[in-house]
Amino acid sequence: MEYSVQLTFREQWRDERLQFDDMDGRMAYLTLTDPNKIWKPDLFFSNEKEGHFHDIIMPNVLLRIYPNGEVLYSIRISLVLACPMDLKYYPLDKQTCSIIMASYGYTTDDLVFLWKVGDPVQVTKNLHLPRFTLEKFNTEYCTSKTNTGEYSCIRVDLIFKREFSYYLIQIYIPCCMLVIVSWVSFWLDQNAIPARVSLGVTTLLTMATQTSGINASLPPVSYTKAIDVWTGVCLTFVFGALLEFALVNYASRSHMQKQAVKQQRKWDIEHSSLDNDHVEGGAAAFAMKPLVHRCGDINSDKAHRCEVHMKPPKSINPCKAWLNKFPSRSKRIDVMSRILFPLMFALFNLVYWTTYLLRQEDI
């Protein structure tokens, strides 16, 4: 919430008491080495946190007096200025930082600051900032009224746009890679429990560490930033991949239990049928059933005829038919996760970038 600036500050005014003879144009101006000998406006920087003048090798001060009494005062200053920032769209944000200059003791009845007509602010051509781009600047007036009177004030607003390429390489791409790596567990065998658990826990811890590192370099704010939305959703996807394995493991164990119950029932039925065969074999010696029936015993005219009625085939849902190819429910969960997780992440990216990039165009 602050920025440092090194500037050459110039102000010009007219003091009729300092008029002198220019000797028919031979005297263009006078240069004073001690600026404390004349009156100067009591200007101060109202949003200054700290600052200092430059005195190496000599004090960087210029004071010229022209024959008509005009005074040019120029001095080199380094300042640390407060800059309240709105970080809702960080790192896709633009910030407006101001340099506010006002009169401390003289009211508007005595002193009024005016911007120079034509090119009042000059920015060096070789200005390069590591993480920002100076898009433009505006000059404004900010005269304030207090209990002691009305004081003249001028302001220059600097509009900075944050360079996004650094954050794309350092934050967004690594987060995407971590989310994609967490999807590798969907392609591993469901019985490879150590591999899937270690992969899910490692990606989750890495994502949490990166999120904490991002927040450590920012001031704590009460609202949600754009980077918080990104890291939070990525962390949710990684955590969801870990929960998906827990669901797959539960479905696999329940399937194995059902298979064990079926095997037990089959074994019981087989043993019970073998016992019935032994009982019938023992009774066969005492009661023999006739093996041949006479033809007259069955009346062919009264014999019942069987008719087969086939139901029309039902229309099968192709998705359901495709899922039925996989034998167990746990395998179906893995297959569905391979499709649903990338689709949901792609949808989130579409909504995220559309929302914040289009929002930036309106600022």
Q: Quote the pLDDT of residue 229.
A: 94
First to last CA, the chain: 20
Q: Are the C-beta atoms of residues 154 and 101 closer than 8 Å to each other?
A: yes
DSSP code per residue over 161-220: EE--HHHIIIIIHHHHHHHHHHGGGGGS-TT-HHHHHHHHHHHHHHHHHHHHHHHHTS--
Q: Are the C-beta atoms of residues 155 and 164 closer than 8 Å to each other?
A: no
**Which tens digit of pLDDT belongs to each residue from 193-219?**
888 899 989 999 999 998 888 888 888
**What is the dihedral sign for C-alpha 317, 320, 324, 325?**
positive
**Which tens digit of pLDDT belongs to each residue from 103-126?**
999 999 999 999 999 889 999 888
Kindly tell me the number of DSSP H helices and DSSP E strands found in the chain: 6, 11
Residues (pLDDT < 70) of the chain are 255, 268, 273-327, 360-363
Give CA separation, 239 vs 200, 202, 204, 278, 321, in Å: 8, 11, 6, 59, 30
CB atoms within 10 A of CB 344: 13
Q: Are the C-beta atoms of residues 99 and 45 closer than 8 Å to each other?
A: yes
Q: Quote the pLDDT of residue 251.
A: 80
Longest dimension (CA), the chain: 158
Q: Which residues pair with 147 in a beta bridge?
A: none
